[in-house]
Every structure is written in C-alpha cells, then in structure tokens.
Amino acid sequence: MTASAKSDIKSLPLDELRSIARPSYRARQITDWLYKKRVNSFAEMTDLPQVLRAKLADDFSFDKIEVVRVLGSADMTRKFLFRLTDGNLIESVLIPASPALYGSPSDRRTICVSTQVGCAYGCKFCASGLDGWKRNLRPNEIVNQIIAVERENGERIDNIVFMGMGEPLANYDNVMGAIQIINAPWGIGIGARRITISTSGLVPQIRKLAEQPLQVRLAVSLHGATDDVRSRIMPVNRKYNLSALLEACRYFTSRRKQRITFEYILIAEVNDSDKQARELAKHAHALDAKVNLIPYNNVEGLDWVRPSSDRQKRFLAVLRAAGVRATLRREKGDDIAAACGQLRLQTERAVVSA
C-alpha cells in the first residue's frame, strides 16, 4: 500500500484495532505503545510478533509532527509551531493556570489545539483565516499535538481546549474521533469534562454535539451581543444569526444539563460598549452561561486594537452588576503572538519573502 493511501495508526479507535490485530488483546498492546510508552515506530513495539509489526507497517502510516518553533512568553505561556507530513504548519498553545503566571508553580496545564489548517469562516479579527482554509486535520494530527507538547514540556496536560486554528465543528467527525482517543483510558486518558470545544456558532453541529454521550464542554465564540455588531466581525452570523445560535445553545443546555461559556473578545470601539455589555448580560442570564472576556491580541496586518484597561474593567463591571458570572482573562502570550494563527502566518510570509 502506498504511503498516501495509508491511514495513520493513531487515527484508529480501539475497536478498529481489535479487528485488525489478532488475537484481540494485541490491540491493547498497540495502544500502550502508542499512548503510554509513545514510541515512534512499529519496530519499537517489541512485544508484538514480527509478522504483525510488518503487517502494521505495510498497512498503516506512523505520522509524526515536527516541532518547528517554540516560543516562551514572560507569563509562562508557550506557543508551538508544528509542521505536518505534507508540509503544512499548525499551532498549539500551552497555557498555565493563573498561579503559574510569571513563574509561580501551577498544578494545571491547558493546551489549545488546532483542528484545521487555516479557517474558512473569516472572522475579521483572527489571523487563522487570513490565508484561507486548506484542509481538515485528521484525528492523529490532533492527538499528536498533545503528545508533542507533553514531550517538549515534560509535564502532563490536564485540560484540552479546541480553540486553536480552525472551526472544530466544521471538522466534526475527525474532532470527535480525536476526542475518543484523548478521553479513553487506553488513549491519553483525559476526562471528558476537561475537554472544551469552541465554536463560532455552527448551529446544526451544536445540536448534533448535544446528542453525543461524552460530556465534553461547549464554549461559544460570541464576540458580539447584537446581530449588527456580530455580523460585522463574524461572517458566520449572516448564516446563523444570534436568534438561531442562542436557540441551539438552549437546546444544548437542556439536553446536557451543562453550563456553556460565552467567549467574548473585547475590541476597542467595536464591541466594548456598555450597550453590548448589557445585551450580553441578557443572553448569559437566559442560558445561565458564564462569560469569559478576552482582551484582543493584536494581529499583524489588522487594524483592531484592545480596549484600555479601564474600558475592559468597565465592561466586566456591567456584567457583574447584572449578576453574570464573568471573568476577564489576563493577557497571556501577547509577546509571542499567541492569538490563533499568528505564528504560522508570520513564518509562512517570512519564507515567501526570503
């Protein structure tokens, strides 16, 4: 079988491995090598018969992702630029819990992973889609980000957020395949409630996610509390407006009995007014949702800027005065271009201009 026609071994769930590795207990041996011992080739799976190792090598690929750059921020955030086997670049960000900011110890580590090369949704403030969408990531390419970051950082990841490059719900099947591996005891072994999927607002997929048995969390990238503001900066709102999106969120919370989070990037003189804060408070109240305010990370080539510190605090105060559970994220990774897609874009443009 040609390399291009092969599936990667780390894209297969346990039941598929059992169907190809006989007797069936061999499947657990394979997953131990992949996700516990984390070997880099079939040849290293020394407790498998040579015949089986040869068959696996013939039928499946063992793709790796190459670490191209690692940037460390003063606040302990680390950004990873990876090259895939086809040469495309993607990013992951390792985010420490708040106590770890500026060097203090932390017992929690969150990784923000990418799900696509580029993005087709064209949010006006985001670097990920500036060069358009190229392709979906396969399950193994999502899982490999976690494995590579744990290897580079030397510590176990506690939480996964699907908030990197791309729209996770536009790559629904591969994302759910990766989550199965990430969550399973035979895989990475991270609890479902420590996994968050973020979406720009794909209404049908939100409803589909509500029917999934795994209790993964949902975050909605709102970024505008009225249709006029949201449509200005998020073209997806023209297809799925706020009414449709909020109704899908209601469906999700009713099915899952889970509280969702509204992510809201604060952009100066765009969505940071008191009026937007009051409208956002109404939406959050109606769904018993939490709100995570994120000061805008400047992107090279875009004119948007973050509001002043006083304006950020005022927006937060309006929400809290209305009884909304809201947090204002401390600025993390701004000195290393930690916003989605920035490092990839800078690297690709540097190569073109060289």
User: Please, are residues 28 and 36 in contact by the beta-carbon 8 Å criterion?
Assistant: no
Which two tokens mark 57?
A: 């090598």
Q: In 41-142, at which residue ranges do the beta strands (DSSP E only) sit?
A: 60-61, 66-72, 78-83, 89-96, 109-112, 116-118, 133-136
Q: 61: alpha, beta or left, given left = phi > 0 and alpha = psi -120 to 50?
A: beta
Of the candidates 272, 284, 294, 267, the one whose C-alpha atom is nearest the C-alpha of residue 322 is 284
Residue 96: phi, psi to the nearest 5?
-75, 155
Distance (Å, whole) CA 58 – CA 65: 20
Q: In 137-281, at which residue ranges do the beta strands (DSSP E only) sit?
A: 159-162, 195-199, 217-221, 261-266
Distance (Å, whole) CA 276 – CA 327: 16
Distance (Å, whole) CA 277 – CA 300: 27
Q: Catalytic residue, from 44, 66, 91, 249: name it.
A: 91
Residue 10: phi, psi to the nearest 5?
-85, 5
66 an active-site residue?
A: no
Of the candidates 272, 105, 275, 128, the one whose C-alpha atom is nearest the C-alpha of residue 198 is 128
150 an active-site residue?
A: no
Cis peptide before 23 (omega within 30 of 0): yes
**What are the b/e assignments for 136-157, b being 16+ CB within 10 Å?**
bbbbbbbbbbbbbbbeeeeeeb
Segments in 98-235 forming alpha helices (H)? 139-153, 172-183, 203-210, 227-233
The catalytic residue positions are 91, 340
